[in-house]
Structure 1
Amino acid sequence: MNVLYVCSAARCGSTLTDMFLGGHPRATSLGESNFLAKALRVGEKCSCGALLRECEHWQAVYRRLERWGFSIEQPYGFRLWDAVAWTYIDKAHQTKSFLAAVRLRKSWMAARDLVPTGARPLVPVPPAYRDALTNKMRLYEAVADAWDKDVVIDSSKNVREAVELYQRHPKTVRILLVTRDGRGVYLSRRSSGRDPEESVRAWLSYYGRALPLLERHVPPEARMQLKYEDIASDPRRAGERLCDFISLDFQESMLRLDGVTRHMVNGNATRFAPNKGIALDERWRKDLQPAELSYFNGRGGPMNAALGYR
């Protein structure tokens, strides 16, 4: 079994990429697996259309995880990396005290990012994250076994988790950083009612953290950076590059998102509409007004250039 961990800021194409690669007969899409417990508790659907707790494919995974303490009725007992929901929220779990604990762990990890590489073992991850990393590999192994797949794709997007998984399992884990032109992300978030600063801040912060972390702690042969625009405009070429990266032969089936049934957790609504296919969204080129474009360029222009956009 091999793992491809997909990292990206929100609205940058991680769900599409997950689905695209999951169209390979020897690979499978997990979606944002860190939300598994939440999705079970609030009654969310698997991307196949069944309730996640009733999906036969996932039930086969649950049975394999029982010996590690997993239970459908108490899914948070099987610890995974922190994931904060913004739309469908399990309010009984995502309480003020939970959010305070998440902030504390994130602050610890942010300070750890500054520690010289050689000294990182002296500053361990929090115990909750240590358990989460162990359980994440158990989840991958259970999925690969239950669904008979060689490559498991996880689009949980947390770059710190990705780095820690790689460092513990360098022969198994590969990391894909998906980027998108920040102007497209900015327009998408502005169209959802967010203010200008909020629309650029998360994108800027994510890649400002991800780029140095991956460069410092993951060797070039274990990581790959790919633009959403390249995937959407030339999926065949992008697919060939991705398959070469994860040691698979490119398959024509990947070009049709509706060619297979996936069993994804969380992610955007694209996972429920594979019939829409792969299409490039660059509406920002005509819809982003000059004043908005000027604002973005002032805040996000340097990062956009660093990611290879002009």
Structure 2
Amino acid sequence: MEEKPINIIYLLGAGRSGTTMLSTVLNNRSKIHTVGEMHQFLDYVYENKDCSCGKNMSECEFWSPLLAEMNLELLKNKENVELSNKLEKHYNIPLYLLGKPLNGTYREMTDVIFQTIHKKESKPWLLDSSKYIARYLLLRKNKKVNLKGIYLVRDVRGVVYSFGKNVQTHKNPLSAIIYYTLINFWAQWVSLFDKRIIKIKYEDFVNEPDKAIQKIDKHLFGSETKTSYLKDTTFEIPHIIAGNRLRSDKQLIIKKDLKWKEEISRPKQILYYLLALPLMIINKYSP
């Protein structure tokens, strides 16, 4: 009997756009289980890194039993880990769009990971918040995956401000804008021609989360699920791979981060806006 395709929701977009917060909120939905940024899964297994719960992978109550069911000889092979990381690099995006086929070893590893989680998890949809466009295109080529996408985009000035904080990966404004433009160019291009992807603005999500989640529900499942008072809800951080610093807080609430409007001078705001002008216009952000 042929196995049913694995249902995967994939978050696309640039870092510092609110994907950890959105993926945590979506984990609260009855049909969705969030597993984190799965492009880092092999590295986490290979190096036995810590899950968001604070315990390493081999001791985590969620991941440890799953690892016992997986082919670790395949997943902990250093060459396979390096292969996966290489295939998901941004420079591969045009090649995948032009028809470069799915690597067999990569497909096998993907199937082992998601099939094992799917068999143990009662919710029908797994959410991968990796953001990498190349990874989305690889999953799209996998016939064993039923894929849906959510493209989360944020005002470039919010992303620049977030990268300027001395936490996790730091980028200066120019590097952040180049990164933002590159990632969002490809995300915009892919989502334009792929009806499996819905685009959500970070600002819309944090301002009216109930409305945004209903829109996402309709895209994913064909009908809106009634939601109310998400702004006042505390959400538990699930057992996720990677994610931003919020994951160590164990729980979060939906709140907007618009400090850039106060912390970035007006001339710089306008300069950053102009440097990312096409994307700012496409996504209807005002100067």
Comparing 253-262 and 226-235, the one that deviates more: 253-262
Determine if contact 1:26/1:150 at 8 Å carries over to the other structure: yes
2:184 matches 1:179: no
2:242 matches 1:266: yes
Instruction: Provide the secondary structure at the position in 2 that maps to 1:29.
Output: strand
Mapping 1:197-236, distance limit 5 Å = 197-216=174-193, 218=194, 220=195, 222-236=196-210
2:20 matches 1:15: yes
Cα distance, 1:170–1:241 mapped onto 2, change above 3 Å: farther
Residue 305 of structure 1 corresponds to 281
What one-letter code is carried by the residue in structure 2 that aligns with 1:15? Answer: T
Q: Aligned-pair distance for 1:172?
A: 1.1
Residue 250 of structure 1 corresponds to 225
Residue 57 of structure 1 corresponds to 62
Identity, % of aligned pairs? 18
Residue 3 of structure 2 corresponds to none
Instruction: Provide the secondary structure at the position in 1 that maps to 2:151.
Output: strand
- RMSD across aligned positions (CA): 3.0
Q: Aligned-pair distance for 1:104?
A: 11
Mapping 1:255-294, distance limit 5 Å = 255=230, 258-260=234-236, 262-294=238-270
Q: Aligned-pair distance for 1:139?
A: 1.7
Comparing 233-242 and 176-185, the one that deviates more: 233-242
Structure holding more strand per residue: 2
What one-letter code is carried by the residue in structure 1 that aligns with 2:179? Answer: A
State the distance in 2 between where 1:40 and 1:114 align.
30
From 123, 147, 164, the equivalent of 1:190 is: 164
Residue 112 of structure 1 corresponds to 95
Determine if contact 1:37/1:75 at 8 Å carries over to the other structure: no
Instruction: Provide the secondary structure at the position in 2 that maps to 1:200.
Output: helix
State the distance in 1 between where 2:277 and 2:258 align.
17
Cα distance, 1:172–1:197 mapped onto 2, change above 3 Å: same
Instruction: Provide the secondary structure at the position in 2 that maps to 1:174.
Output: strand
Residue 93 of structure 1 corresponds to none
Q: Aligned-pair distance for 1:234?
A: 1.3
Ranges in structure 1 where 5+ consecutive residues have no aligned partner: 84-101
Q: Aligned-pair distance for 1:110?
A: 4.5
Q: TM-score, normalised by structure 2?
A: 0.83
Structure with the bigger RCO (C-alpha within 8 Å, sep 6+) is 1
Cα distance, 1:261–1:183 mapped onto 2, change above 3 Å: closer
Q: Aligned-pair distance for 1:264?
A: 0.2
What one-letter code is carried by the residue in structure 2 that aligns with 1:58? Answer: W
Ranges in structure 2 where 5+ consecutive residues have no aligned partner: 1-5
State the distance in 2 between where 1:30 and 1:254 align.
24
Residue 296 of structure 1 corresponds to 272
Q: Aligned-pair distance for 1:15?
A: 1.0
